[in-house]
Amino acid sequence: MANETPEVATGPLTGYTVVDLSRALAGPHAGMMFGDLGARVIKVENSGKGDDSRSWGPPFVGPEDNPQATYFFSCNRNKESIALDLKSETGKDTLTGLIARADVLIENFRSGVLDRLGFSTARCMEINPRLVILSITGFGHDGPEASRAGYDQIAQGEAGLMSLTGSGPDDMQRVGVPIADLLAGIYGSYGVLAALLERERTGKGKVVRTSLIAGMVGVHAFQGTRATVAGQEPQPGGNHHPSLSPYGLFNCRDGAVQISVGNENLWQKFCAAFDIDPATEGMAVNSERVENRPAVIELIEDRFSAFDAADLLAKLTEAGIPSGTVRTLPEVYQWEQALSQGLKVSVDHPVLGDIDLPGPPLRFFDAGASGEIETTRTAHDAPPLLDEDADSIVAWLADGN
Protein backbone atom coordinates (compact mmCIF):
# COMPACT_ATOMS: atom_id res chain seq x y z
CA MET A 1 0.00 0.00 0.00
CA ALA A 2 1.03 3.61 -0.51
CA ASN A 3 2.06 5.72 2.43
CA GLU A 4 -0.87 7.79 3.70
CA THR A 5 -1.06 11.22 2.13
CA PRO A 6 -3.76 13.81 1.55
CA GLU A 7 -5.79 12.99 -1.53
CA VAL A 8 -5.01 15.61 -4.14
CA ALA A 9 -6.34 14.00 -7.31
CA THR A 10 -8.09 10.95 -8.67
CA GLY A 11 -5.97 8.47 -10.56
CA PRO A 12 -4.27 5.07 -10.36
CA LEU A 13 -1.55 6.51 -8.09
CA THR A 14 -3.83 8.44 -5.74
CA GLY A 15 -2.44 8.01 -2.22
CA TYR A 16 1.19 7.80 -3.31
CA THR A 17 3.69 10.56 -2.55
CA VAL A 18 6.58 11.43 -4.85
CA VAL A 19 9.44 13.70 -3.77
CA ASP A 20 10.98 15.24 -6.89
CA LEU A 21 14.53 16.48 -6.28
CA SER A 22 15.29 16.69 -9.98
CA ARG A 23 15.63 19.71 -12.24
CA ALA A 24 15.66 20.59 -15.95
CA LEU A 25 13.70 17.94 -17.86
CA ALA A 26 14.35 14.18 -17.50
CA GLY A 27 13.46 13.89 -13.81
CA PRO A 28 10.75 16.58 -13.84
CA HIS A 29 9.07 14.86 -16.79
CA ALA A 30 8.96 11.63 -14.80
CA GLY A 31 7.55 13.52 -11.81
CA MET A 32 4.86 15.09 -13.97
CA MET A 33 3.85 11.66 -15.22
CA PHE A 34 3.27 10.53 -11.64
CA GLY A 35 1.26 13.69 -10.96
CA ASP A 36 -0.88 13.03 -14.02
CA LEU A 37 -1.60 9.59 -12.57
CA GLY A 38 -2.88 11.09 -9.32
CA ALA A 39 0.17 10.95 -7.06
CA ARG A 40 1.04 13.85 -4.80
CA VAL A 41 4.28 15.23 -6.25
CA ILE A 42 6.35 17.54 -4.05
CA LYS A 43 9.00 19.37 -6.05
CA VAL A 44 12.04 20.29 -3.95
CA GLU A 45 13.88 23.25 -5.49
CA ASN A 46 16.97 25.25 -4.67
CA SER A 47 16.33 28.31 -2.55
CA GLY A 48 16.50 31.51 -4.56
CA LYS A 49 16.36 30.58 -8.26
CA GLY A 50 14.67 27.20 -8.12
CA ASP A 51 14.71 24.73 -11.01
CA ASP A 52 17.13 25.68 -13.80
CA SER A 53 14.31 25.64 -16.35
CA ARG A 54 12.54 28.55 -14.59
CA SER A 55 15.11 30.75 -16.37
CA TRP A 56 15.24 28.93 -19.73
CA GLY A 57 13.90 31.17 -22.46
CA PRO A 58 12.65 32.99 -24.35
CA PRO A 59 9.79 32.63 -24.54
CA PHE A 60 8.78 34.19 -21.25
CA VAL A 61 5.21 35.28 -20.55
CA GLY A 62 3.57 37.43 -17.94
CA PRO A 63 4.53 40.71 -16.27
CA GLU A 64 8.04 42.12 -16.77
CA ASP A 65 8.75 41.99 -13.04
CA ASN A 66 7.66 38.33 -12.77
CA PRO A 67 8.29 36.61 -16.11
CA GLN A 68 7.35 32.94 -16.42
CA ALA A 69 9.33 30.48 -18.58
CA THR A 70 7.10 28.33 -20.76
CA TYR A 71 9.83 25.67 -20.70
CA PHE A 72 9.19 25.14 -16.98
CA PHE A 73 5.49 24.76 -17.69
CA SER A 74 6.17 21.82 -20.01
CA CYS A 75 7.24 19.40 -17.27
CA ASN A 76 5.88 20.61 -13.93
CA ARG A 77 2.08 20.52 -13.93
CA ASN A 78 0.35 18.74 -11.04
CA LYS A 79 3.14 19.44 -8.53
CA GLU A 80 3.71 21.38 -5.34
CA SER A 81 6.89 23.39 -4.74
CA ILE A 82 9.05 23.85 -1.67
CA ALA A 83 12.46 25.57 -1.75
CA LEU A 84 15.16 24.12 0.48
CA ASP A 85 18.83 24.83 1.13
CA LEU A 86 20.11 21.26 1.33
CA LYS A 87 23.41 22.45 2.80
CA SER A 88 21.61 23.80 5.86
CA GLU A 89 20.44 21.72 8.80
CA THR A 90 16.88 23.01 8.41
CA GLY A 91 16.81 21.99 4.76
CA LYS A 92 18.26 18.57 5.53
CA ASP A 93 15.75 18.02 8.32
CA THR A 94 12.84 18.89 6.03
CA LEU A 95 14.11 16.61 3.27
CA THR A 96 14.57 13.81 5.81
CA GLY A 97 10.92 14.21 6.79
CA LEU A 98 9.83 14.16 3.17
CA ILE A 99 11.83 11.01 2.43
CA ALA A 100 10.30 9.32 5.48
CA ARG A 101 6.79 9.99 4.11
CA ALA A 102 7.49 9.34 0.43
CA ASP A 103 6.86 6.33 -1.77
CA VAL A 104 9.16 7.56 -4.53
CA LEU A 105 12.22 9.84 -4.64
CA ILE A 106 13.39 11.22 -8.00
CA GLU A 107 16.87 12.68 -8.47
CA ASN A 108 19.09 13.48 -11.44
CA PHE A 109 22.21 14.85 -9.78
CA ARG A 110 25.63 13.81 -10.97
CA SER A 111 26.83 10.65 -9.27
CA GLY A 112 28.03 11.39 -5.75
CA VAL A 113 26.28 14.73 -5.21
CA LEU A 114 23.53 13.35 -2.95
CA ASP A 115 26.12 11.36 -1.02
CA ARG A 116 28.02 14.58 -0.26
CA LEU A 117 24.79 16.22 0.92
CA GLY A 118 24.26 13.36 3.37
CA PHE A 119 21.55 11.52 1.42
CA SER A 120 23.31 8.51 -0.04
CA THR A 121 21.20 5.61 -1.25
CA ALA A 122 21.97 3.73 1.95
CA ARG A 123 20.93 6.71 4.08
CA CYS A 124 17.68 7.22 2.16
CA MET A 125 16.79 3.53 2.53
CA GLU A 126 17.64 3.72 6.23
CA ILE A 127 15.20 6.61 6.60
CA ASN A 128 12.52 4.75 4.63
CA PRO A 129 13.10 1.08 3.75
CA ARG A 130 10.01 1.11 1.48
CA LEU A 131 11.32 3.97 -0.65
CA VAL A 132 11.68 3.55 -4.41
CA ILE A 133 14.46 5.79 -5.73
CA LEU A 134 14.59 6.84 -9.38
CA SER A 135 18.08 8.06 -10.27
CA ILE A 136 18.75 9.48 -13.76
CA THR A 137 22.17 10.44 -15.07
CA GLY A 138 23.55 11.40 -18.46
CA PHE A 139 25.85 8.49 -19.18
CA GLY A 140 25.06 5.94 -16.46
CA HIS A 141 26.03 5.60 -12.83
CA ASP A 142 29.15 3.53 -13.46
CA GLY A 143 31.54 2.81 -16.29
CA PRO A 144 34.47 4.86 -17.59
CA GLU A 145 32.41 7.95 -18.48
CA ALA A 146 29.95 8.01 -15.61
CA SER A 147 31.12 11.43 -14.42
CA ARG A 148 30.17 13.24 -17.65
CA ALA A 149 27.41 15.85 -17.44
CA GLY A 150 24.24 14.85 -19.24
CA TYR A 151 22.67 17.22 -21.76
CA ASP A 152 20.10 16.13 -24.30
CA GLN A 153 21.77 17.08 -27.56
CA ILE A 154 25.10 15.60 -26.49
CA ALA A 155 23.32 12.36 -25.60
CA GLN A 156 21.49 12.33 -28.94
CA GLY A 157 24.84 12.51 -30.67
CA GLU A 158 26.81 10.16 -28.44
CA ALA A 159 24.11 7.47 -28.45
CA GLY A 160 23.72 7.49 -32.22
CA LEU A 161 20.33 9.11 -32.75
CA MET A 162 21.74 12.08 -34.66
CA SER A 163 23.56 9.69 -37.02
CA LEU A 164 20.10 8.46 -38.10
CA THR A 165 18.35 11.82 -38.33
CA GLY A 166 18.56 14.39 -41.12
CA SER A 167 18.30 14.60 -44.89
CA GLY A 168 21.50 12.63 -45.49
CA PRO A 169 24.96 11.70 -44.16
CA ASP A 170 26.16 15.30 -44.55
CA ASP A 171 23.14 16.77 -42.76
CA MET A 172 22.84 15.09 -39.35
CA GLN A 173 20.19 16.70 -37.15
CA ARG A 174 18.96 16.48 -33.59
CA VAL A 175 15.33 15.58 -32.98
CA GLY A 176 13.20 18.70 -32.57
CA VAL A 177 12.37 17.97 -28.92
CA PRO A 178 14.78 16.92 -26.11
CA ILE A 179 14.01 13.28 -26.75
CA ALA A 180 16.91 11.88 -24.69
CA ASP A 181 15.64 13.68 -21.58
CA LEU A 182 12.03 12.72 -22.22
CA LEU A 183 12.76 9.05 -22.83
CA ALA A 184 14.95 8.79 -19.74
CA GLY A 185 12.02 10.13 -17.74
CA ILE A 186 9.56 7.76 -19.39
CA TYR A 187 11.76 4.68 -19.00
CA GLY A 188 12.50 5.69 -15.42
CA SER A 189 8.80 6.00 -14.65
CA TYR A 190 8.00 2.55 -15.93
CA GLY A 191 10.87 1.18 -13.85
CA VAL A 192 9.44 2.87 -10.74
CA LEU A 193 6.00 1.40 -11.37
CA ALA A 194 7.56 -2.08 -11.62
CA ALA A 195 9.45 -1.48 -8.37
CA LEU A 196 6.24 -0.36 -6.63
CA LEU A 197 4.56 -3.57 -7.75
CA GLU A 198 7.47 -5.60 -6.43
CA ARG A 199 7.23 -3.71 -3.13
CA GLU A 200 3.70 -5.04 -2.72
CA ARG A 201 5.23 -8.54 -2.52
CA THR A 202 8.43 -7.83 -0.62
CA GLY A 203 7.66 -4.75 1.48
CA LYS A 204 11.02 -3.32 0.44
CA GLY A 205 11.99 -0.41 -1.75
CA LYS A 206 14.46 -0.45 -4.62
CA VAL A 207 16.76 1.80 -6.61
CA VAL A 208 15.87 2.29 -10.29
CA ARG A 209 18.64 3.70 -12.48
CA THR A 210 18.60 4.87 -16.06
CA SER A 211 20.36 7.45 -18.19
CA LEU A 212 19.98 9.65 -21.23
CA ILE A 213 22.11 7.35 -23.35
CA ALA A 214 20.16 4.30 -22.14
CA GLY A 215 16.94 5.93 -23.27
CA MET A 216 18.47 6.60 -26.68
CA VAL A 217 19.71 3.05 -27.17
CA GLY A 218 16.35 1.78 -25.93
CA VAL A 219 14.63 3.27 -28.99
CA HIS A 220 17.14 2.30 -31.67
CA ALA A 221 14.59 -0.37 -32.64
CA PHE A 222 15.18 -1.88 -36.11
CA GLN A 223 18.04 0.54 -36.71
CA GLY A 224 19.88 -1.06 -33.81
CA THR A 225 19.51 -4.58 -35.17
CA ARG A 226 20.64 -3.36 -38.58
CA ALA A 227 23.92 -2.54 -36.84
CA THR A 228 24.23 -5.46 -34.42
CA VAL A 229 22.86 -8.27 -36.60
CA ALA A 230 23.24 -7.16 -40.22
CA GLY A 231 26.52 -5.34 -39.63
CA GLN A 232 25.27 -2.21 -41.39
CA GLU A 233 25.88 1.43 -40.50
CA PRO A 234 22.49 3.13 -40.79
CA GLN A 235 22.51 6.61 -42.34
CA PRO A 236 20.04 9.52 -42.19
CA GLY A 237 17.27 8.96 -44.69
CA GLY A 238 15.37 12.21 -44.47
CA ASN A 239 11.61 11.81 -44.65
CA HIS A 240 11.62 8.31 -46.16
CA HIS A 241 11.65 4.95 -44.38
CA PRO A 242 14.88 2.98 -44.80
CA SER A 243 13.14 -0.41 -45.11
CA LEU A 244 9.77 0.38 -46.72
CA SER A 245 8.83 2.12 -49.96
CA PRO A 246 6.85 4.15 -50.69
CA TYR A 247 6.68 5.35 -47.11
CA GLY A 248 7.36 9.01 -46.40
CA LEU A 249 6.72 12.62 -47.37
CA PHE A 250 5.89 13.36 -51.04
CA ASN A 251 5.42 16.69 -52.78
CA CYS A 252 2.18 17.58 -54.50
CA ARG A 253 0.91 20.70 -56.31
CA ASP A 254 0.55 23.00 -53.30
CA GLY A 255 2.54 21.28 -50.59
CA ALA A 256 3.23 17.74 -49.44
CA VAL A 257 1.49 14.70 -47.98
CA GLN A 258 2.67 11.60 -46.18
CA ILE A 259 1.84 8.05 -47.23
CA SER A 260 2.61 4.69 -45.68
CA VAL A 261 2.47 1.78 -48.12
CA GLY A 262 3.43 -0.91 -45.68
CA ASN A 263 2.64 -4.09 -47.61
CA GLU A 264 2.09 -5.40 -51.12
CA ASN A 265 -1.69 -5.28 -50.84
CA LEU A 266 -1.49 -1.54 -50.21
CA TRP A 267 0.92 -1.18 -53.14
CA GLN A 268 -1.63 -2.79 -55.42
CA LYS A 269 -4.36 -0.41 -54.17
CA PHE A 270 -2.08 2.59 -54.50
CA CYS A 271 -1.13 1.72 -58.06
CA ALA A 272 -4.76 1.20 -59.06
CA ALA A 273 -5.71 4.62 -57.66
CA PHE A 274 -2.91 6.48 -59.48
CA ASP A 275 -2.68 4.55 -62.76
CA ILE A 276 0.66 2.89 -62.03
CA ASP A 277 1.63 -0.58 -63.22
CA PRO A 278 2.42 -2.43 -59.97
CA ALA A 279 4.86 -4.66 -61.85
CA THR A 280 6.88 -1.71 -63.16
CA GLU A 281 10.49 -2.81 -63.51
CA GLY A 282 12.34 -2.34 -60.23
CA MET A 283 9.11 -1.72 -58.28
CA ALA A 284 7.29 -5.03 -58.16
CA VAL A 285 8.15 -5.83 -54.52
CA ASN A 286 9.13 -3.76 -51.53
CA SER A 287 12.82 -4.73 -51.54
CA GLU A 288 13.10 -3.53 -55.14
CA ARG A 289 11.30 -0.30 -54.35
CA VAL A 290 13.69 0.36 -51.44
CA GLU A 291 16.69 -0.21 -53.72
CA ASN A 292 15.20 2.06 -56.38
CA ARG A 293 13.77 4.68 -54.05
CA PRO A 294 14.70 7.75 -56.17
CA ALA A 295 12.79 6.36 -59.16
CA VAL A 296 9.80 5.51 -56.95
CA ILE A 297 9.74 9.02 -55.49
CA GLU A 298 9.99 10.59 -58.94
CA LEU A 299 7.11 8.49 -60.28
CA ILE A 300 4.84 9.17 -57.30
CA GLU A 301 5.52 12.90 -57.20
CA ASP A 302 4.78 13.07 -60.92
CA ARG A 303 1.33 11.59 -60.22
CA PHE A 304 0.82 13.79 -57.14
CA SER A 305 1.72 16.98 -59.01
CA ALA A 306 -1.78 17.11 -60.45
CA PHE A 307 -3.38 17.37 -57.00
CA ASP A 308 -3.66 19.92 -54.24
CA ALA A 309 -2.97 18.40 -50.83
CA ALA A 310 -6.59 18.41 -49.63
CA ASP A 311 -7.88 16.65 -52.73
CA LEU A 312 -4.97 14.24 -52.71
CA LEU A 313 -5.60 13.23 -49.11
CA ALA A 314 -9.24 12.62 -49.93
CA LYS A 315 -8.28 10.40 -52.86
CA LEU A 316 -5.77 8.46 -50.76
CA THR A 317 -8.37 7.91 -48.04
CA GLU A 318 -10.89 6.70 -50.61
CA ALA A 319 -8.31 4.23 -51.93
CA GLY A 320 -7.57 2.95 -48.42
CA ILE A 321 -3.99 4.24 -48.29
CA PRO A 322 -2.74 5.41 -44.86
CA SER A 323 -1.91 9.07 -45.31
CA GLY A 324 -1.71 12.40 -43.54
CA THR A 325 -0.54 15.96 -43.51
CA VAL A 326 2.17 17.71 -41.47
CA ARG A 327 0.60 19.98 -38.87
CA THR A 328 2.21 22.87 -37.04
CA LEU A 329 1.97 22.73 -33.24
CA PRO A 330 -0.69 25.47 -33.11
CA GLU A 331 -2.70 23.37 -35.58
CA VAL A 332 -2.29 20.28 -33.41
CA TYR A 333 -3.71 22.05 -30.36
CA GLN A 334 -6.74 23.12 -32.40
CA TRP A 335 -7.28 19.69 -34.00
CA GLU A 336 -10.54 18.10 -32.93
CA GLN A 337 -9.02 14.62 -32.80
CA ALA A 338 -6.27 15.73 -30.42
CA LEU A 339 -8.79 17.58 -28.26
CA SER A 340 -11.02 14.49 -28.11
CA GLN A 341 -8.11 12.57 -26.57
CA GLY A 342 -7.54 15.09 -23.78
CA LEU A 343 -4.26 16.28 -25.27
CA LYS A 344 -4.83 19.89 -24.23
CA VAL A 345 -5.75 20.85 -20.67
CA SER A 346 -6.59 24.16 -19.05
CA VAL A 347 -5.13 25.25 -15.70
CA ASP A 348 -5.38 28.32 -13.51
CA HIS A 349 -1.91 29.80 -13.02
CA PRO A 350 -1.43 32.18 -10.05
CA VAL A 351 0.34 34.79 -12.24
CA LEU A 352 -1.06 34.21 -15.74
CA GLY A 353 -4.59 33.09 -15.00
CA ASP A 354 -6.16 30.53 -17.34
CA ILE A 355 -3.60 28.90 -19.64
CA ASP A 356 -3.58 25.81 -21.84
CA LEU A 357 -0.94 23.09 -21.54
CA PRO A 358 -0.22 19.91 -23.50
CA GLY A 359 -2.23 17.15 -21.87
CA PRO A 360 -1.22 13.72 -20.52
CA PRO A 361 -0.96 10.89 -23.07
CA LEU A 362 -2.82 8.20 -21.07
CA ARG A 363 -6.53 7.67 -20.47
CA PHE A 364 -8.16 5.24 -18.02
CA PHE A 365 -11.54 3.51 -18.07
CA ASP A 366 -13.62 1.26 -15.86
CA ALA A 367 -15.32 -1.42 -17.96
CA GLY A 368 -18.66 -2.80 -16.84
CA ALA A 369 -21.88 -4.24 -18.12
CA SER A 370 -23.20 -0.76 -18.86
CA GLY A 371 -20.11 0.14 -20.90
CA GLU A 372 -16.91 2.03 -20.28
CA ILE A 373 -16.67 4.89 -17.81
CA GLU A 374 -13.64 7.14 -18.16
CA THR A 375 -11.73 7.69 -14.92
CA THR A 376 -8.88 9.80 -16.29
CA ARG A 377 -7.88 12.76 -14.16
CA THR A 378 -9.55 15.84 -15.64
CA ALA A 379 -8.73 18.59 -13.10
CA HIS A 380 -5.08 19.62 -13.38
CA ASP A 381 -2.93 21.98 -11.33
CA ALA A 382 -0.78 24.68 -12.90
CA PRO A 383 3.01 24.43 -12.56
CA PRO A 384 3.76 25.93 -9.15
CA LEU A 385 5.51 29.16 -8.31
CA LEU A 386 8.80 28.69 -6.49
CA ASP A 387 8.15 27.72 -2.85
CA GLU A 388 4.42 28.19 -3.38
CA ASP A 389 3.42 25.26 -1.18
CA ALA A 390 6.08 25.42 1.54
CA ASP A 391 3.71 26.26 4.38
CA SER A 392 1.26 23.46 3.64
CA ILE A 393 4.05 20.90 3.13
CA VAL A 394 5.79 21.84 6.39
CA ALA A 395 2.44 21.71 8.21
CA TRP A 396 1.75 18.27 6.77
CA LEU A 397 5.14 17.01 7.96
CA ALA A 398 4.59 18.47 11.42
CA ASP A 399 1.11 16.97 11.68
CA GLY A 400 2.48 13.45 11.16
CA ASN A 401 -0.76 12.12 9.57
Per-residue tens of pLDDT for the chain, all 401 residues: 454 444 445 799 999 999 999 999 999 999 999 999 999 999 999 998 999 999 999 999 999 999 999 999 999 999 999 999 999 999 999 999 999 999 999 999 988 889 999 999 999 999 999 999 999 999 999 999 999 999 999 999 999 999 999 999 999 999 999 999 999 999 999 999 999 999 999 999 999 999 999 999 999 999 999 999 999 999 998 999 999 999 999 999 999 999 999 999 999 999 999 999 999 999 999 999 999 999 999 999 999 999 999 999 999 999 999 999 999 999 999 999 999 999 999 999 999 999 999 999 999 999 877 788 888 998 999 999 999 999 999 999 998 76
Same-domain check for residues 30 and 107: yes
Dihedral (CA of 213, 217, 223, 224) sign: positive
Domain termination residue (choose one: 304, 324, 344)? 324
The answer to the question of residue 130 being in a domain is yes
Give the domain range for residue 98.
17-221+377-399
What whole-number distance in Å separates Cα of residue 352 and Cα of residue 383? Answer: 11
CATH number of the CATH domain containing 284: 3.30.1540.10
The answer to the question of residue 344 being in a domain is no
The answer to the question of residue 50 being in a domain is yes
Same-domain check for residues 39 and 108: yes
Dihedral (CA of 112, 218, 74, 206) sign: negative
The answer to the question of residue 283 being in a domain is yes
Same-domain check for residues 38 and 157: yes
What whole-number distance in Å separates Cα of residue 261 and Cα of residue 282? Answer: 16
The answer to the question of residue 333 being in a domain is no
The region that residue 111 occupies, defined by phi over 0 for left and psi between -120 and 50 for alpha, beta otherwise, is beta
Same-domain check for residues 173 and 251: no
Same-domain check for residues 275 and 206: no
Domain termination residue (choose one: 324, 349, 367)? 324
Query: Catalytic residues, which ones?
Result: 181
The answer to the question of residue 317 being in a domain is yes
Asked, as a colleague might, if the bond just before 58 is cis with ω within 30 of 0, I would say yes
Domain termination residue (choose one: 324, 352, 386)? 324
What whole-number distance in Å separates Cα of residue 198 and Cα of residue 193? Answer: 9
Number of domains in the chain: 2
The answer to the question of residue 139 being in a domain is yes
Same-domain check for residues 38 and 73: yes
What whole-number distance in Å separates Cα of residue 278 and Cα of residue 271? Answer: 6
CATH number of the CATH domain containing 149: 3.40.50.10540
Same-domain check for residues 125 and 179: yes
